[in-house]
Chains A and B, each alone.
Chain A
Amino acid sequence: ETGVTQTPRHLVMGMTNKKSLKCEQHLGHNAMYWYKQSAKKPLELMFVYSLEERVENNSVPSRFSPECPNSSHLFLHLHTLQPEDSALYLCASSQAPEGAGYEQYFGPGTRLTVT
C-alpha cells in the first residue's frame, strides 16, 4: 500500500447505526486530518491530529468522534447521524506543521449515505 488509504470506500447506514471510517497513511507523516466534502461546498476541515494529539475540533457535532491510536492510523466513529451528514469524507496526512504549512496528501475518501 502506498499513500493514504481509506476504508470502506462506500458506506450506507441508517440514522440509528454505529459505524467507523478508517484511514491509514504510508508516508511517514505525523499529522492527520478529517475533511467533509459536500456537493457544491468547499472542503470543510473537521479534525486535526498532530503527533497523535487532537489540535483542532472545528465545531463538529458530537455524533462524529475521531480517534488517532498512532501516527499512521485515524478513525472516525459515527453514531446517530442525520441525512445531511451524507457526504464524501476525506482523510489527509502531512508532516506536523511548525508554522510554515506543509503539503497535505489526501486519501480517496469514503462516500457516506445516511438513510
Chain B
Amino acid sequence: GENVEQHPSTLSVQEGDSAVIKCTYSDSASNYFPWYKQELGKGPQLIIDIRSNVGEKKDQRIAVTLNKTAKHFSLHITETQPEDSAVYFCAAINDYKLSFGAGTTVTVRA
C-alpha cells in the first residue's frame, strides 16, 4: 500500500515569513495529492490539491509543487499570518484510497 511521510512534524515561523512542508510517497500509481488544514476542534479542510499531470499549482498565498520522478510534493505558504496556525496534512490517493502523512503543526509567531 501507499506510505506517505511528512516533514517537519512541527514548524514555527515569524509572521510574514514563508513556511514549507515536504512529503514523500511510495506508490508511483498515486495520481492525486491534496493538502488539508485542521484547526482545533474541526475536521480537516481541503486547502489545495494537485494532480499528477501538473508540476505546480498556486492559490493566493498557497502553492504546491509535485516532482513525480522523485515522488515528493511540497506545500508553500507565503506571507504567513496568525490564522495560518494549524495542523497541515498531506495525502496521496490511488483510486479512492487516501493515505495521509502524520501532520505538521504550524505555529505563526506574531
Known: A42-B4, A48-B96, A108-B42. A100 touches B31 (CB 8 A): yes
Q: Does B44 contact A (CB under 8 A)?
A: yes
Nearest neighbor of A96 in chain B, beta-carbon distance: B96
Q: Which of B50-93 contact A (CB under 8 A)?
A: 51, 89, 93
Asked if B98 contacts A45 (CB within 8 A), the reply is: yes
Q: Which of A83-97 contact B (CB under 8 A)?
A: 90, 92, 94, 96-97
Interface residues on B, range: 20 to 34
Instruction: Choose from B41, B51, B98 the contact partner of A104 (Cβ within 8 Å).
Output: B98
Known: A43-B89, A100-B32. A108 touches B43 (CB 8 A): yes
Instruction: Choose from B34, B43, B93, B101 the contact partner of A42 (Cβ within 8 Å).
Output: B101
Q: Does A27 contact B (CB under 8 A)?
A: no
Least Cβ–Cβ distance between A101 and chain B, in angstroms: 3
Known: A31-B96, A99-B95, A101-B32. A41 touches B102 (CB 8 A): yes
Asked if B102 contacts A42 (CB within 8 A), the reply is: yes
**A-B pairs under 8 A by CB, number:** 62
| Chain A residues with CB under 8 A of B36 | 106
Nearest neighbor of B103 in chain A, beta-carbon distance: A42
Contact string against A for B residues 6-31, beta-carbon threshold 8 Å, 1 for contact and 0 otherwise? 00000000000000000000000001
| Chain B residues with CB under 8 A of A42 | 4, 89, 99-103
* Interface, chain A (partner B; CB < 8 A): 4, 6, 31, 40-43, 45, 48, 50, 55-56, 90, 92, 94, 96-97, 99-109
Q: List 21 A-B contacts (CB under 8 A).
A: A40-B102, A41-B102, A42-B4, A42-B103, A43-B89, A45-B98, A48-B97, A55-B96, A90-B43, A100-B31, A100-B32, A101-B94, A101-B95, A102-B32, A104-B46, A104-B98, A105-B46, A106-B36, A106-B44, A107-B43, A108-B42
